[in-house]
Amino acid sequence: MILVTGATGNLGKSTIEFLLKKGVAPSNIAALVRSEEKAIDLTNKGITIRIGDYDHYQSLVDAFKGINRLLLISGSDIVNRSKQQENAVKAAKEAGVKHIFYTSFERKNETDSSPIHFVAASHMATEALIQQSGLVYTIFRNNLYLDILPWFFGDNVLETGVFLPAGETKAALTLRDDMAEAIANVLITDGHENQTYALSNLENVSMADLAKSLSDIVGKTIPYTNPSTQVYVETLTKANVPNEFIGMFAGFSEAIKQGEFETSKSDLETLLGRKPITAKQYLATIYK
Ligand SMILES: NC(=O)c1ccc[n+]([C@@H]2O[C@H](COP(=O)([O-])OP(=O)(O)OC[C@H]3O[C@@H](n4cnc5c(N)ncnc54)[C@H](OP(=O)(O)O)[C@@H]3O)[C@@H](O)[C@H]2O)c1
């Protein structure tokens, strides 16, 4: 049986949808959720619900019993994630899981000077723990989601243009559903033992490229402004954007500028058996 954690989230839900589309019987899929009420759609599809919380070790041991393949989707609680994922890896071992799959994150700078050390550190710690655990593993190094762009651009992007301190550097932004389909393909085939896969798009795009794509899509010029981080923070603060969002947008923009997500290494096309959705194709689905 395959168990998917984070099954009420975007990536988990989408991976389960692809498993079903590819012919896995619902009775062979289990979903780890924190609350049964949030999982009614999964229950209705015949998926087995296992209740568990990354914070509660024993709940994970119980939930992982009888599971051969466990997809551990990285948690969204960035502050507590290292400990939570340590719980999940140790519980997988105790419960007798055969093969663990983990959704990690693309990065280059692994030191604490990285502008995204606040997310990268727990991914690195979990990868190391998995590799030392003795479990058979597969690690996915997910690039930045294309799906976060509308959030980063803000609601008025078509009036004000793209305003982000991301420089001119490119990034291999990737559609979350493409990652989910690739992960589903890996979960249902053999030959992925102890592999680390790069789930990155084939093309790298800069913010200027994205603004150009937006311009083509909506038929008017959408400019890209590349402010200093200080001006960016001041502008968003004046617009009453909450501080935690400003910090996150600024941190990820700086990471893009430093080339953290630019890569020519990708396993996505091979794992999907087709070309991934491009940034421009994705933007057209949102802004056309
Ligand atoms: N590559 C990127 O650009 C990018 C962007 C955003 C996030 N991420 C990472 O990728 C992961 C998946 O993305 P997503 O879009 O599917 O995120 P999401 O929609 O926020 O889903 C997160 C999932 O994690 C579950 N979860 C959180 N804390 C948990 C806990 N203590 N115990 C058990 N489950 C817990 C949530 O359950 P509830 O429904 O109960 O809250 C939810 O199902 C995120 O969690 C984050 O680590 C990557």
231-252: pLDDT as tens digits: 999 999 999 999 999 999 999 9
> What pLDDT shows up at residue 283?
98
Query: Tens of pLDDT along 265-283?
Result: 999 999 999 999 999 999 9
Average pLDDT, the chain: 97
List, for residues 113-149, the tens digit of each pLDDT value: 999 999 999 999 999 999 999 999 999 999 999 999 9
Query: Domain spans of the chain?
Result: 2-142, 145-173+201-263+278-288
- Supply the pLDDT for residue 26: 98
Q: Model-level pTM greater than 0.75?
A: yes
Interval 196-209 mean pLDDT:
98
Using most ligand atoms within 8 A of CB, pick from 11, 76, 143 the residue to mutate for ligand 1: 76
**For the CA of 10, the nearest atom of ligand 1:** 16
Q: Which residue has the tokens 């980063």?
A: 152
* Ligand 1 centroid distance, CA of 123 (Å): 13
pLDDT digits (tens, 9 = 90+) for 140-177: 999 999 999 999 999 999 999 999 999 999 999 999 99
Same fold for the pair 2-142 and 145-173+201-263+278-288: no
Query: How far, in Å, is the centroid of ligand 1 from the Cα of 145?
Result: 13
Please give the Cα distance from 152 to 248 (Å, whole number): 10
Task: State which fold the 145-173+201-263+278-288 domain adopts.
Answer: UDP-galactose 4-epimerase; domain 1 (3.90.25)
pLDDT at residue 132, as a whole number: 97
Mean pLDDT of the 69-85 span: 97
From the CB of 11, is ligand 1 less than 6 Å away? yes
Instruction: Decide whether any atom of ligand 1 lies within 6 Å of the 34 Cβ.
Output: yes
pLDDT at 55: 98
What confidence tens digit (pLDDT) does each residue in 6-20 have? 999 999 999 999 999
**How many A from CA of 184 to the centre of ligand 1?**
17
Residue nearest (by alpha carbon) to ligand 1 atom 38: 8
- Mean pLDDT (whole number) for 67-71: 98
CATH superfamily of 2-142: NAD(P)-binding Rossmann-like Domain (3.40.50.720)
